[in-house]
Amino acid sequence: MPPRKIIIDTDPGQDDAVAILLALAAPELQVLGITTVAGNVPLALTARNARVICELAGRPDIFVFAGADRPLQRTLVTAEHVHGKTGLDGIALPEPRMPLQDAHAVDFIVQTLRDEPPGAVTVCTLGPLTNIAMALQKAPDIAERIAAIVLMGGAYFEVGNITPAAEFNIYVDPEAAHKVFASGIDLTVMPLDVTHKALTTETHLQAFRDMGTRVGDAVAAWTDFFERFDKEKYATPGAPLHDPCVIAYLLRPDLFSGRHVNVEIELHSALTRGMTVADWWGVTPRRPNAMFMGDVDADGFFALLAERIGTL
C-alpha cells in the first residue's frame, strides 16, 4: 500500500516538533511539505524551527514554507510563556542550513492540492488554522480535493488552556477556525479532552533518553522543558503531548475514540471567544461536521512514539 500523502501545517513548539519527528519516522506517511504559521511563537521562529526539526531527523530534503504571520482579523497572541523564547527551548541545536522555500505556504497548499488527485492528500494542522482558511478563501475548489483535515485544537470537557473557555490554537485565530469548520471537509479533531490524557511521565522521558540518539535526547529535553508549565498549572505528574496525537491518529486510529458531532466556533463573546462549542450530547438539530475525539489509549500512544522515534 502506498504511503499516505500529508501536508503538515504547524507553529513549532516542542510538541509540534515531536509530531513532525513522528511523521518523518513513519514509512506509512509521505510528507509533501511543511507549512508554518505564526502561533506559539512568531512566524520567523516557526519557519526556523520547522527546519531545525527536519535537520535533526536527517531530512533536509523536506520542503518548508512560511505562511501567515498574523491571524485573519486579530492581533497575534503567542505562547512563549509555555514554549520559551525560541519555541524550542530545552536544548541547543544548530541553526538550520536547509533553505526556506520561496513560495508562500498558502500557494504551496493550493498548488499541491490541485496537482494531486482528489482525495489524495490529508492536511495535518498543529497550530492556528490561518493558512488553511486563507487557502480555502483563495481557492474554494480545494475543499473537495482534501481527503481530510486532522487537527489539534479545541476543547469541551477540559475547557480552555489560554482562557477559561478556549484552547490556544483556536483562540489565536477563531475566524480561521470558523471557516475550516464550516467548509464541509472531513474533520477529525484532537481537543484537550484527548491530549490531556496523553501525559508524559518520567518513565516516558527515560525511554527517550535511553535511545542514545540525538533525536531521543532532544525529545526528552524538549518534553522536560515543556512539561514544567503544565505540571504546575494542572498539578499533574506530567504534561500533555498535544500535537503528536494528530500523527498518531493517522498511524493508529484504533488508539482514539470520539463522536461525530457538530462543532461551532464562538467569535463574538468577550468571555468565550475561540470556544469550540461541541454538541457532544446531540441536543441541537445542527448537522455533525467533525469527529471530535474524547479518549486515547495513552500507553499505546507512548509506545508508538518510542517505537517510531527510536528509528531516527
For the chain, the structural domain boundaries read 4-309
What CATH fold (topology level) applies to the domain 4-309?
Inosine-uridine Nucleoside N-ribohydrolase; Chain A (3.90.245)
What cell was used for 309?
522515534
Per-residue confidence (pLDDT) for residue 312, from 0 to 100: 93
Query: Which position among 83, 178, 204, 242 bears the catalytic label?
Result: 242
C-alpha cell at 45: 521562529
Peptide bond into 238 cis (omega under 30): no
Quote the pLDDT of residue 238: 74
- pLDDT score of 204: 85
pLDDT of the residue at 32: 98
pLDDT of residue 227: 67
DSSP state string for 216-271: HHHHHHHHHHHHHHHHHHH--SS-B--THHHHHHHH-GGGEEEEEE-EEE--S-TT
The kind and range of the H/E element at 32 are strand 29-36
268 carries an active-site annotation = no
For 261, residues 6+ apart whose C-beta sits below 8 A from its C-beta are 278, 279, 280, 282, 288, 290, 292
pTM, two decimals, is 0.96
Q: Which residues in the chain show pLDDT less than 70?
A: 227-231, 235
**What was the pLDDT predicted at 9?**
98
CA angle, 93 as apex, 161 and 24 as ends, to 5°? 70
